């Protein structure tokens, strides 16, 4: 079968009209690809539009303050992507005279850019013959060609890369790459794929073996860590103690002081714990309210959070400042804290 031509014919009738498909500007394409890492198109599209409006050029992004970028990114998660964007924008301004690099190896060298993203930018912006291999591509190839190697193994990664590169239309790499990803997103979906009306139904090994849901094969199982966090919203004259995280998944974002425990604790047990006693160190405080447990699910961890609002005017912490209630939402927060602040009336 002419795999690529079939894909291209399907793509011409079924592709979505997305703004980054209407440009070869490497800055815009790079931005879209970073946003779409770990993010669905429907969720990422408004962020892409906000970013190109706020930072229409690479120089604008490089010149911005990190807090501004993180605030605009708020809600997308995986905040290291935003920090890497900022870092790489400044790197390009400094070491590439402000011009986005055109060579695959130089694109791959940018912080936050992996093999897939480098292939996408190379083909979409510069027409270079590098095949993309993302989750959609893996799913399509695994089913049609019956790839039994686990895609998260070294052997599987090599096999998928070689197969994708072999199938790539060298004369139309950008369109081919867009087509196969779109096919995975719209036709060969993770659940309930449209097999009965698929252009590859007669050739698809998984479909003809009745084993579509067994592909792609994966070996590693994600281990979910449970965390029990109690945030302390310490109030002083309508201002709350706020600090910037310098470690962890939310590094660079702002949050409130918190106590973390290895298991669930009642409110009484928290107050009697050594962490609580050490934190307040005989200082006066008054507990105003305690939220219900809020479950926040991330890829590798589930956070069980409670928010305590307290009056305590003599608490001072290094690198924390009191921020007026009306100014809180100007700061970049994790989705967990942002949602709490918007859903609950903090008095």
In angstroms, the CA 307 to CA 217 distance is 41
Instruction: Tell me the CA distances in angstroms from 71 to 83, 175, 232, 254, 336, one per residue in order.
Output: 11, 34, 22, 10, 14
Q: Of 85, 72, 83, which Cα lies nearest the Cα of 338?
A: 72
Instruction: Tell me the CA distances in angstroms from 68 to 33, 61, 128, 181, 252, one per residue in order.
Output: 20, 10, 34, 32, 11
Phi/psi of residue 307, nearest 5 degrees = -115, 120
In angstroms, the CA 158 to CA 163 distance is 9
Q: Are 181 and 135 in contact (CB under 8 A)?
A: no
Query: CA torsion sign, 192 to 195 to 200 to 203?
Result: positive
Residues acting as catalytic residues: 33
Compute the residue count for the chain: 347
- Within 13 A of 25's CA, how many CA atoms are on the CB side? 12
Strands 294-297 and 258-261: unpaired
């Amino acid at each position: 079968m002419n795999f690529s031509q079939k894909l291209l014919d399907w793509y011409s009738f079924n592709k979505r009209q997305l703004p980054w498909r209407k440009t070869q500007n490497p800055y815009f394409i790079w931005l879209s690809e970073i946003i779409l890492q770990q993010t669905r198109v429907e969720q990422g599209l408004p962020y892409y539009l906000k970013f190109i409006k706020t930072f229409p050029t690479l120089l604008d992004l490089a010149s911005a303050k990190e807090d501004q970028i993180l605030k605009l990114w708020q809600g997308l998660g995986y905040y290291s992507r935003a920090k890497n964007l900022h870092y790489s924008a400044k790197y390009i301004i400094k070491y590439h005279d402000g011009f986005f690099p055109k060579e695959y190896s130089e694109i791959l060298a940018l912080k936050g850019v992996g093999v897939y993203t480098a292939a996408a930018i190379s083909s979409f912006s510069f027409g270079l013959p590098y095949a993309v291999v993302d989750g959609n591509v893996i799913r399509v190839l695994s089913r049609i060609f019956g790839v039994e190697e686990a895609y998260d193994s070294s052997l599987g990664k090599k096999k998928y890369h070689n197969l994708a590169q072999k199938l790539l239309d060298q004369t139309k790499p950008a369109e081919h790459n867009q087509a196969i990803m779109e096919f995975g997103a719209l036709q060969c979906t993770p659940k309930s794929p449209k097999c009965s009306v698929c252009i590859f139904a007669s050739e698809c090994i998984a479909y003809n073996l009745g084993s579509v849901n067994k592909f792609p094969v994966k070996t590693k199982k994600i281990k979910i860590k449970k965390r029990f966090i109690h945030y302390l919203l310490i109030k002083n004259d309508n201002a709350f103690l706020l600090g910037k995280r310098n470690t962890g998944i939310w590094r660079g974002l702002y949050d409130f002081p918190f106590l973390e425990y290895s298991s669930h604790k009642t409110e009484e047990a928290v107050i009697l714990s050594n962490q609580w006693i050490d934190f307040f160190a005989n200082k006066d405080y008054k507990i105003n309210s305690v939220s219900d447990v809020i479950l926040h699910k991330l890829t590798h961890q589930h956070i069980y959070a409670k928010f305590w609002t307290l009056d305590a005017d003599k608490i001072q912490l290094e690198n924390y400042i009191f921020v007026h209630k009306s100014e809180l939402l100007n700061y970049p927060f994790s989705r967990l804290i942002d949602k709490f602040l918007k859903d609950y009336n903090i008095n």
